[in-house]
Amino acid sequence: MINKGFIFDLDGVIVDTAKFHYIAWKRLANELGINFTEEDNEQLKGVSRMQSLEILLGLEDVQKSESEKLQFAKQKNDWYVDLIGNLTPKDIMPGAEDFINEASKRSIKIALGSASKNALFILNKLKLNHLFDARIDGNQVAKAKPDPEVFLKGAEALGVPKENCLVFEDAQAGIEAAINGGMKCIGLGNTDILAKANLIVSGMDKITVSQALELLDNKK
Ligand code: B16
Ligand code: MG
């Protein structure tokens, strides 16, 4: 039997933490006098913490020193960690846990491929840690999405050739990372934003493992 792997992004695929990222960035933006909307927040999805800060400051061309930037990123993260402290398994997005369980039962290897440095903290809160054969997060990668590093490391950690791996992503930067790594991907969410994905669905409860495998096996 061919060795196959599914690689899951975390924020926006398994749990909706985007709202908490938004609250924390908005609080920082307010302190800095920067106008920051939910639409602006879309640009931060899947993007690393420091790059997110650069995008936020860039909205109004605000210049800060490197040490100030590190301090702002730490402050935002402290607020964010407070907000996600109450996550429980009830916050798992519909269908995600069942889908991963079913894939495991069918001997598909499961990896996490997240930009977040808080990924393991979140997985533990959701009590999902045990479902993953490999976990690659923002602490293990040097290059952020759309660079494919996080997914290539995921495939390598699973011991599955990258062409036999399927990525599940909610962010444009993540879809591009999968494509840049030569992997097929399923986009979760908005069809306009995720247009480059091989297939787009509105949530993990809208796709079956059989359909995902069909996409992976389709050599086109
Ligand atoms: P942290 P993902 C990403 O997670 C988020 O989508 C993105 O909004 C966030 O800036 C990034 O993680 C870094 O998160 O500040 O917790 O390290 O979607 O790749 O799972
Ligand atoms: Mg995401």
pLDDT, one tens digit per residue, over 199-211 is 999 999 999 999 9
Contact 213, 200 (CB under 8 A): no
Would the pLDDT of 3 be above 80?
yes
Please indicate whether residue 147 is annotated as part of the active site: no
Whether 198 is in the pocket of ligand 1, judged by its Cβ within 6 Å, is no
Binning pLDDT at 50, 70 and 90, where does residue 1 land?
low
Please indicate whether residue 40 is annotated as part of the active site: no
Burial class (CB in 10 A: 0-12, 13-18, 19+), 107: exposed
What is the model's pTM? 0.94
* Alpha helices (H) along 93-143: 96-105, 119-126
Whether 118 is in the pocket of ligand 1, judged by its Cβ within 6 Å, is yes
How confident is the model over 46-71, as a mean pLDDT?
A: 96
Contact 12, 171 (CB under 8 A): yes
Dist. CA 2 → ligand 1 center (Å): 32
From the CA of 177, the nearest ligand is 1
* Domains of the chain: residue spans and CATH: 5-16+89-217 (3.40.50.1000), 18-84 (1.10.150.240)
Which of the following is catalytic: 9, 40, 192, 205?
9
Longest dimension (CA), the chain: 57
Whether 21 is in the pocket of ligand 1, judged by its Cβ within 6 Å, is yes
One-character DSSP codes across 37-84: -HHHHHTTTT--HHHHHHHHHHTTT----HHHHHHHHHHHHHHHHHHH
